[in-house]
């Protein structure tokens, strides 16, 4: 291939390596697709040529580095998102190394671009009253409101990822004895997540109203198509804003679909469920991932602290003096 064969390289990468050889999940294909849509748009504007006229030399290390900077500064992407985009680009360039060896030096320079290290943010979750306010926010006199109520209740009771929620079909819902949802998570792994009686009751009513065939999406758009990740993010944000009217504490939190997943984990943790069980429930690759919830829960730390007394000390935690008295003592 010569340097003008970037379109052929990309097509071969997606249809050959990615889809046929690796057989990724639809979410992975969508992530890779979005990465290259953004990259080609950026490179096109930079080179002054249409995307189909770009050459692989237009995607050198300098251009890719500028694109990653653009993601963070202009699009507001987080470091994990930036690194995920870079991982997709690296995968393509490893493929290009085999099929366009004449560009070996350029390819190696792109592959040498390092991922960024990101500090771990504190987990944000909703308390019990906040969760109730959020799930009560949709207007259930409308079709959209009943769908959103069922979706939000399912999300906070099961802890499913947004991609798992949008991928649910009617056939994935089992509402007989031992009601549960069957979902496909990361790495195309299937797992079953139990449903509470409340969630099962709401889903029964929703499925009766929704109708459709077993292979149809459980939470569809008005057109009958699966909701997109962005659509779920928007409806969560809208209902969180509504809920803040009745529960002001929600207003101080950035509520996303992943916040609902964190809320499930924290509810299980506070109920005394072992972290290894929570890891299985949420579909974590390793129980170590679940340790983040232990670090985030100050009440658990407070209870641990209350059990530990220094030698010769008295039970309880130190309480600072009255703030006014403390101020006077500084004079």
Contact 71, 82 (CB under 8 A): yes
Out of 46, 204, 258, 270, pick the active-site residue: 258
Q: Which residues pair with 296 in a beta bridge?
A: none
Out of 186, 191, 204, 270, pick the active-site residue: 186
Q: How far apart are CA 163 and CA 184, in angstroms?
A: 9
Out of 161, 184, 210, 239, pick the active-site residue: 161
> For the sheet containing 173-174, what is the strand order?
173-174, 180-184, 190-194
Residue 312 CA from chain centroid, whole number? 48
φ/ψ (deg, to 5) at 7: -60, -40
Question: What is the number of other CB atoms lying within 10 angstroms of the CB of residue 242?
Answer: 16
Q: How far apart are CA 65 and CA 86, in angstroms?
A: 9
Out of 82, 146, 149, 261, pick the active-site residue: 261
Of 236, 270, 268, the closest CA to residue 255 belongs to 236
Out of 82, 147, 149, 284, pick the active-site residue: 284
User: Is 103 a known active-site residue?
Assistant: no
Q: Roughly how many angstroms between the first and final C-alpha of the chain, as a whole number?
A: 79
User: Is 186 a known active-site residue?
Assistant: yes
Structure tokens that stand for 271 in this block? 């109920």
Beta strand segments in 156-262, E: 173-174, 180-184, 190-194
Residues annotated catalytic, as ranges: 161, 186, 258, 261, 284, 293
């Amino acid at each position: 291939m010569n340097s003008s064969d970037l379109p052929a390289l990309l097509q071969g990468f997606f249809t050959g390596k990615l889809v046929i050889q690796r057989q990724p999940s639809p979410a992975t294909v969508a992530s890779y697709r979005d990465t290259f849509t953004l990259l080609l748009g950026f490179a096109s504007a930079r080179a002054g040529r249409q995307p189909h006229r770009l050459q692989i030399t237009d995607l050198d290390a300098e251009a890719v580095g500028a694109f990653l900077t653009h993601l963070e500064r202009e699009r507001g992407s987080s470091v994990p998102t930036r690194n995920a985009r870079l991982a997709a680009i690296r995968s393509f360039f490893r493929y290009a190394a085999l099929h366009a060896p004449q560009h070996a030096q350029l390819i190696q320079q792109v592959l040498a671009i390092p991922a960024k290290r990101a500090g771990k943010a504190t987990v944000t979750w909703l308390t019990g009253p906040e969760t109730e306010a959020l799930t009560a926010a949709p207007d259930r006199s409308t079709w959209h409101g009943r769908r959103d109520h069922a979706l939000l209740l399912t999300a906070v009771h099961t802890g499913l990822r947004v991609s798992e929620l949008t991928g649910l079909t009617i056939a994935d819902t089992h509402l007989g004895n031992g009601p549960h949802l069957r979902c496909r998570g990361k790495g195309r792994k299937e797992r079953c997540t139990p449903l509470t009686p409340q969630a099962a009751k709401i889903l029964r009513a929703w499925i009766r109203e929704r109708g459709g065939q077993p292979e149809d999406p459980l939470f569809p758009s008005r057109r009958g198509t699966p909701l997109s990740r962005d659509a779920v993010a928007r409806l969560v944000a809208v209902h969180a804003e509504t809920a803040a009217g009745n529960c002001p504490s929600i207003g101080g939190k950035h509520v996303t679909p992943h916040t609902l997943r964190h809320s499930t984990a924290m509810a299980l943790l506070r109920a005394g469920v072992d972290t290894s069980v929570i890891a299985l429930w949420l579909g974590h690759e390793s129980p170590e991932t679940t340790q983040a919830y232990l670090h985030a829960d100050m009440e658990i730390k407070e209870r641990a602290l209350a059990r530990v007394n220094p030698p010769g000390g008295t039970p309880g935690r130190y309480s600072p003096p009255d703030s006014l008295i403390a101020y006077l003592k500084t004079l």
